[in-house]
Amino acid sequence: MRPWRSNSSSRPDVDQPAAINERLAETYPDAHCELDFRDPFELLVATVLSAQSTDRRVNAVTVELFRRFPTPPALAEAEREEVETIIGPVGFYRNKTTAIIGLSQRIVDEFDGEVPGSLEDLVSLPGVGRKTANVVLGNAFGVPGITPDTHLIRLANRFGWVDSTKPDVVEESVGALFPPDEWVMLCHRVIWHGRRCCHARRPACGACPVAELCPSRDIGEQDPAKAAKLLRKPRA
């Protein structure tokens, strides 16, 4: 990868990240969290379930999960076997069952049945790390945060914004390039671009809206027609 560098500094060109963000905003004006949720509790549970699974699969199981257990008190008292049966398709369902029942119990016991709105409190819940906490804070509480999921980590490296796959390093490095009020939407745009164009194995560089700004623009399919066939449409 050719890292994007300015002529006078060893850090990424400060104009290039802003330009990419602007171009992605034009390309994905409707970018948003693709997990279905109606309140902070549903988003918290859905995000825990999304680990090593797809949003589409999580959305398919949470319809029934939240019908049966719509609140922290309800899920805190759920039978493990029933929860495991419902969320089985998302994978790692035993560990995830332990986590979502455990976090529900903690919310009931320590937070009066309400999902806490601070990073410190959220990461104290079973199965909740900084990534999950930032998803909930940004999308349910409007608190700025960087969500270093696999797409953001991959694209931040390809864009030359960071040279690390460690989530905490990516979170800090990407956050330093943008004002906090851009963090949440930036993550949505980059994640959408990662899912739809800048794929892990075969990025559609020839049809990429930010190719001219990207130091990794030569790693994927270059032919525009072939690249266009690699693009994926947003979920209906």
Residue spans per domain, the chain = 15-30+146-230, 40-140
State the Cα torsion 183-184-186-192 to the nearest 10°.
160
Active site residue 149: yes
**Region label for 235, one of left (φ > 0), alpha (ψ between -120 and 50) or beta (otherwise):** beta
So what's the architecture of 40-140 in CATH? Orthogonal Bundle (1.10)
Positions of the chain with pLDDT lower than 50, given as ranges: 1-14, 236
For the residues of 43-59, what is the DSSP string, one character each? HHHHHHHTTTS-HHHHH
Q: Quote the pTM value.
A: 0.88
Structure tokens at 88: 């089985």
Residues 6+ apart with CB under 8 A from 147: 131, 134, 135, 138, 187, 191
Active site residue 131: yes
DSSP 7: S
- What burial class does residue 79 get, using C-beta atoms within 10 Å of its C-beta: 0-12 exposed, 13-18 middle, 19+ buried? exposed
**Residue in 15, 149, 166, 218 annotated catalytic:** 149
pLDDT for the residue 233: 78
How many other CB atoms sit within 10 Å of the CB of residue 89? 12
- Give all strands (DSSP E) within 141-218, no chain letters: none
* CATH for 15-30+146-230, options being 1.10.1670.10, 2.60.40.10, 3.20.20.110, 3.40.50.720: 1.10.1670.10
The C-alpha angle with vertex 167 and arms to 215 and 170, in degrees rounded to 5, equals: 40
